Amino acid sequence: MNFLEERIVKDGIVKEGNILKVDSFLNHQMDVTLFQQMGEEFKRRFADKEINKILTIEASGIGIACIVASCFHVPVVFAKKSKSVNIDGAVYVAEVESFTHKCKNQVIVSKKFLHPEDKVLIIDDFLANGCALQGLISIVAQAGATVEGIGIAVEKGFQQGGRIIRNLGYPLESLAIVDSMDASTGTIVFREQN
């Protein structure tokens, strides 16, 4: 088991409805020493890529993305959830369905912060059905920029997102891939990765 898998086993809680709660260290209280280790691991896994911008989505991706951005020495941009419509065309927009909150949100990124020459590493805390990632990929495409890679903390491998994104050809690295989990016993099984 790697450092993140060990932490998930120690402090993660498996909930009914295929939810893994990691709010004591990842997305409510945040262990930034762990985030630093995650940032260094993403830097190692994407060492061959020329990345000049990190992109994530509000809210729980922001903490991790900031530390990753510090490891890559590049700025981080987050897609904002927005209720207002795009009147003046100054933003890129995507529709994202929230897995945890079961609602649809428009997310926006200002055109000021994403350009055709940008080489983007997308970072998020979880990958479930892949809606959040598809929204971020769409925003990068609208900007004419390039997705150089996608880094996820926890992928739920029993949901479809990872397969969809890999089939689209994106270099996707998840630090922990949960292949199965059981709320009644609390058991979590991780996918073997090299």
> Does 59 count as an annotated binding residue?
no
Residue among 22 and 114 whose Cβ is closer to ligand 5GP: 22
Q: How far is the CB of 132 from ligand 5GP (least distance, A)?
A: 4
**For ligand 5GP, which is the closer residue by CB, 149 or 161?**
161
User: From the CB of 142, what's the least distance to ligand 5GP, in Å?
Assistant: 18
Q: Which is nearer to ligand 5GP, 131 or 175 (CB)?
A: 131
Q: Is 20 annotated as ligand-binding? A: yes
The reply to whether 144 sits in an annotated binding site is: no
Q: Which is nearer to ligand 5GP, 109 or 132 (CB)?
A: 132
**Least gap, CB of 28 to ligand 5GP (angstroms):** 9
| 104 marked as binding residue | no
Is 143 annotated as ligand-binding? no
Give start and end residues of each alpha helix (H) in 56-101: 61-72
Q: Which of 156, 165, 166, 164 is nearest to 188 (CA)?
A: 156
Please check whether residue 175 is in contact with residue 4, taking contact to mean a CB–CB distance below 8 angstroms.
yes
Residues in contact with ligand 5GP by CB under 6 A are 19-22, 27, 60, 99-100, 124-132, 156, 161
Q: In angstroms, what is the minimal distance from the CB of 160 to ligand 5GP?
A: 9
Q: Which pairs from 109-116 meet CB under 8 Å and 24+ separation?
A: 109/55, 109/77, 109/79, 109/80, 109/139, 109/143, 111/143, 113/75, 113/77, 114/53, 114/55, 114/77, 114/139, 114/140, 114/143, 114/145, 115/143, 115/144, 115/145, 116/143, 116/144, 116/145
Question: Quick one: which of 116, 55, 53, 51 has its CA closest to 80?
Answer: 55
127 vs 145, which CB is nearer to ligand 5GP?
127
In the annotated binding site for xanthine, the residues are 20, 27, 156
